[in-house]
Amino acid sequence: MQGITLRSKILLVGDGAVGKSSFRRAWLGETFQTQYLMTLGADFAAKQISQYYSPTNTKYTIKYQIWDLAGQPRFKVVSDLYYHGAVGALCFFDITNKDSFINLAEWIKSFWELNGAGKRPLLVVGAKSDLRNNPDFPNQVSSNHGINYARELTEIIQKDHNYEIHYVETSSKYNINVDKTFQQLGTEIIKVYNQILGSMLPNTTN
C-alpha cells in the first residue's frame, strides 16, 4: 500500500470561550482546565495522524499544524493574518450559547475569504456536549440545528467542490468525539487533495 504525507495547516475558529483551546489540549493529551484562559491572538500546536483512504487504497500521514485563533473582536486584525494558507478549519460554537452559533456564519465567511484558496473543508463543531440537557443551561442549540446548518453549507459547496461539511458534538472534558473530529476533517482534506491532484494530471480521454 502506497503512503502519502500531507502537511495541513488548520484553524480552530469561533467566539471566545466556546471551548477551542480546551479541545486542542484534549487532543494533545493535556489536562482539561476549568478556568478560562483567553488566547492571545493565536496559539500553535502540531500533531500527526495516520488515515486510510479507501477510494485510492492509500495510507496518509497528515501532519497537522493547528492554529487556535482568539475569538475576541479586539484580536481580529491579528487573527486575520493567520488564515492564509489554511487548508481546513474546525468552526466551534458552544451548544449552551445561541449567539456563538449565530456568529458561526461570520467565522466561516472569514475562513473562506482569507485562506487564499477559497472554500476549503471545514467542520461545524458543537462544543461542551457534556452540558446537553443540563437544566442550568435551558437555552441550548439543538443537535438538529447543527446538523441542518452543516447540510446547508454542503449545498453551497457541492456544485464546485468534492467534499462534504459535517456536524459533530464534542466534549473536551470527557474526550468525546475529539479524535473523530480530526479524522472527519482529514477525510475531507484528502478528498480535496485528490481532486486537485486529478485536475493536474493530463487528460488522456480521446
Distances (CA, A) of 124 to 35, 54, 104, 116, 148: 24, 24, 9, 20, 11
83: cell is: 488564515
pLDDT tens digits, residue range 19-38? 999 999 999 886 544 444 45
C-beta separation of 166 from 149 below 8 A: no
Domain boundaries, the chain: 2-200
The whole-number average pLDDT for the span 168-190 is 96
Among the listed residues 22, 120, 115, 32, the one whose alpha carbon sits nearest the alpha carbon of residue 68: 22
Is a pLDDT exceeding 60 seen at residue 44? yes
Q: Would you say how long the chain is, in residues? A: 206
**What does the alpha-carbon distance between residue 30 and residue 206 come to, in Å, rounded to a whole number?**
56
Could you please state the CATH topology (level 3) that the domain comprising 2-200 is classified under.
Rossmann fold (3.40.50)
Q: What phi and psi values does residue 44 have, to the nearest 5 degrees?
A: -120, 140
- Residue found by looking up cell 479524535 in the block: 179
pLDDT tens digits, residue range 52-74? 999 999 999 999 999 988 866 65
C-beta separation of 125 from 170 below 8 A: yes
37: cell is: 484562559
Residue 40 banded pLDDT, cuts 50, 70, 90: low
The whole-number average pLDDT for the span 130-155 is 96
